[in-house]
Amino acid sequence: MTGRLVLVATPIGNLGDLSPRAVEVLAGADVVACEDTRRTGKLMAHAGVSAPRLLVVNEHTEAAGADEIAQLVAGGNTVVLVTDAGTPAVSDPGSRVVEAVLDAGGEVEAVPGPSAALAALVVSGLPTGRFCFEGFLPRKGRHRADRIRELCQESRTMVLFEAPHRLARTLGDLASALGGDRAVAIVREQTKLHEEVWRGTLADAVVRADGTEPRGEHVLVVAGCPDPAPPSESQIRMALNERLADGLSRRDAAAAVADDLGVSRRAVYQMSLED
């Protein structure tokens, strides 16, 4: 008889966000894997749950812990995985554990709940239909430069995490690469006493960060790259004349220009008849 791994989302600040189902699952666990036994112990005490065996699984121990958890699940145990705050495996330990359990043929479930990324996204005021989660940017070097360069072409709303002592630098790098007029929302201390949401442009955010001492964990929600403006009539005519000068027929020239500029073939062909 195999057990199961259950990923349980925990509060990112307000303990009242711990769901009744999360409490039920924690109470029924044989083992609770967590980043910090003291923090998780306090959470379980708040929920009125007697702590079972607590297994430390953090960024340094996840690889070894994943194998142990897979063995526990294979032995019929219910293992609950939590992190210090939020949903496991999202910029926190968890993905290696899930992979190990699945590779061993185990069952994996999730108890959804608090997520700093989603909470910041929905209050940002920016488009939420399509978004990407970038987590923490690389701290330095070519990997950081390459990642930021990729974001320049990202059309979806972007969600990033940042520590307070790196906030000003990251905002400056984003403003330089994406443009100071790009919209951003900065969300900090979510669900806590000093929760704050600031909205503006990257340029204004840089000035603000330089003039204040950032405190607490921050989530940055950045607007995606705007769609390019449609080509003007003069641009279309110029491209059409160049194709005609190359010896293409009106029909072939119109088709080539339409494909290049993303406009209607019929409209371009009509232009060719007007010249």
pLDDT tens digits, 6-49:
999 999 999 999 999 999 999 999 999 999 999 999 999 999 99
pTM over 0.85: no
Sheet strands side by side (includes 107-111): 53-56, 31-34, 78-81, 4-8, 107-111
CA geometry: angle at 64 spanning 59 and 67, to 5°? 125
d(CA 170, CA 23): 37
Among 111, 110, 90, smallest CA distance to 22 is for 111
Among 53, 12, 14, smallest CA distance to 32 is for 53
Q: Which pLDDT belongs to residue 90? A: 93
Low pLDDT (below 50) residues in the chain: none
Q: Which pLDDT belongs to residue 275? A: 63
